Structure 1
């Protein structure tokens, strides 16, 4: 009999909850809750179970924030949680808590191949080759995936808060603009939805103007707004640089996977604005960068699948 797993993906604004049977998420069971309407994740899970009249065999939750020693916290909301809280809220005997990028990493090999779009080709690797997920959405983060004899291990990180790389005079000016506004030029300050907005604002500032647009308006207006096109170019070139840097750190011969709403929105523009060229622009290691294929994950519910896959991993 399939294991009935309650899975939840806690983002910065909303939480999505669903039932999975082993690694298969029942998409018809997915329900979205606005975080600010609830004092914590326990009330969300109880409300979901009351509405669906079910008792799960296990519960796994991923959170957009750091998880340390089994305790997770949201970066932008006063929610904390651990396994005991999840078990008490659901009645499930098994409980686990993951960082959201860890969940994405556990999902990779459980996804429908049709939900993965190739961006940059690479050399076919062995089945146990390391992989890397890079998340672009409300924030930025990445997590390496290692296949070991003890099972799949996805290491958490908070690399979106590392310094932005600087290669050109233009990028230095952008870093100084971000630093002036926010105190520290972090990767997430550019490579995220709000980061794209900052790039657009910076380009206006460079032109002696004060124009601002939402990330959605920038994407929607890219065909007719030259500044929106330039914002995409700057964003995508820096994304290529950062993704290439992370690939040299982790050596993901099994592939780099861009995940999240911003990554999916950027997919049609990556080729036009030189993602692959920036990704491989590593001097004498430029040829070596051809080892790493890069893809975009199209499945918006991949983190829920990853939660379920984690609970089904015999390791």
Structure 2
């Protein structure tokens, strides 16, 4: 039996990746990346892809967006774009369409990725059960993953807009600093690409300086700039704290999965800068935290697999 052809897209705050699939298998030779700033909305991106790629009309289309999805409409948090089923169908020609939050798509990908798609951050027994995907990139979000008799259930959430946790006087000062922009210190104000830039600016402010750099520049300066190293260390400590908090909320005994470009950029420093200690620092529940293994998804196209998996499951 021939696998169905799906058109899938991962719409981030900066770029959109589009591909064709054979069932759950992403056809890597069809992956194309488009800069969002070159388009007025998502529909023109998808029409451009069909022109660039050519070929038959897909059997189904699924896009995931970096923002909330409600009543069949996806709204990007960091970009003035939206998409609904009717516009998705018109742009792709597909009769079966779906719109997911980007972390929902990552959740639907777990279990269908290649064996080498993940790296271990914290090892532990994996008896099964719920899993948790945490995304750190242009923004921050998380999604629990539940396999049920009725199929996989990945409920959406907007975890990046919850309050930043505060454990120390320094973190209180950081929260006060980042809250000046929006009047509210959210997780995403620190745990994101622009968040790392905020942390560096805060450390400069603490030192009576106005020096600042872009996130990529900060990462490049870790070995030569003590402030860059301190910014990354603060970032990773907060990353561990928030991931630990979310793990206690969702109890992902099947594992925590870190995804996103910023999470991958932090990979070489997670052990050196004590991510695991921050993750487990939960007082009398510190020992209990050993129940949650943590992995890093290094497959940059996992969300595309998730979109395909969602469509494939709906067809089964």
TM range (shorter): over 0.9
CA distance in 2, matches of 1:132, 1:109: 13
Question: What CA distance in whole angstroms lies between the structure 1 residues aligned with 2:219 and 2:37?
Answer: 27
User: Match for 1:123 among 118, 122, 125?
Assistant: 125
Deviation at 1:88, TM superposition (A): 1.7
- When the two chains are superposed, the root-mean-square deviation of aligned CA atoms in Å is 1.1
Partners of 2:47 and 2:91 within 8 A in 1 = yes
Please state whether the residue corresponding to 1:167 is helix, strand or coil: coil
Q: Distance in 1 between matches of 2:50 and 2:247?
A: 41
Aligned twin of 2:106: 104
Residue 12 (structure 2) aligns with:
11
TM-score, scaled relative to structure 2: 0.97
Q: TM-score, normalised by structure 1?
A: 0.97
Shift of 1:78: 2.7
Cross-structure match for 1:179: 179
Give the Cα–Cα distance (whole angstroms) in 2 for the partners of residues 175 and 307 of structure 1.
35
Matches within 5 A, 1:40-79: 40-54=41-55, 55-79=57-81
Which residue in 1 is equivalent to 2:225?
A: 225
Partner of 2:273: 273
Rounded Cα–Cα distance in structure 2 between residues aligned with 1:20 and 1:11: 20
Give the SS at the match of 1:109: coil
Shift of 1:185: 0.5
Q: Name the count of aligned residue pairs.
A: 313
Alignment of 1:178-197 (within 5 A): 178-197=178-197
1:15 Cα shift?
Answer: 1.1
2:308 aligns to what SS in structure 1? helix
Q: Which runs of 5+ in 2 are unaligned?
A: none
**Following TM superposition, by how much is the alpha carbon of 1:229 offset from its aligned partner in structure 2, in angstroms?**
0.9
The list of structure 1 runs, each at least 4 consecutive aligned residues, that deviate by more than 6 angstroms after superposition, is none
Q: CA deviation at 1:182?
A: 3.0
- 1:94 corresponding residue in structure 2: 96
Cα drift, residue 124 of structure 1: 2.1
Measure, in 1, the Cα distance between the counterparts of 2:34 and 2:300: 16
What is the DSSP-based 3-state SS (H/G/I as helix, E as strand, rest coil) of the residue aligned with 2:111?
A: helix
Does 2:24 match 1:32?
no
What displacement does 1:249 show? Answer: 0.3
Local SS of the residue matching 2:213: coil
Q: 1:50 offset after TM fit, Å?
A: 2.1
Post-superposition offset of 1:40: 2.1
Is the Cα contact below 8 Å between 2:126 and 2:255 reproduced in 1? no
Where does structure 1 lack aligned partners over 5 or more consecutive residues? none
User: Is 1:200 the counterpart of 2:219 in the alignment?
Assistant: no
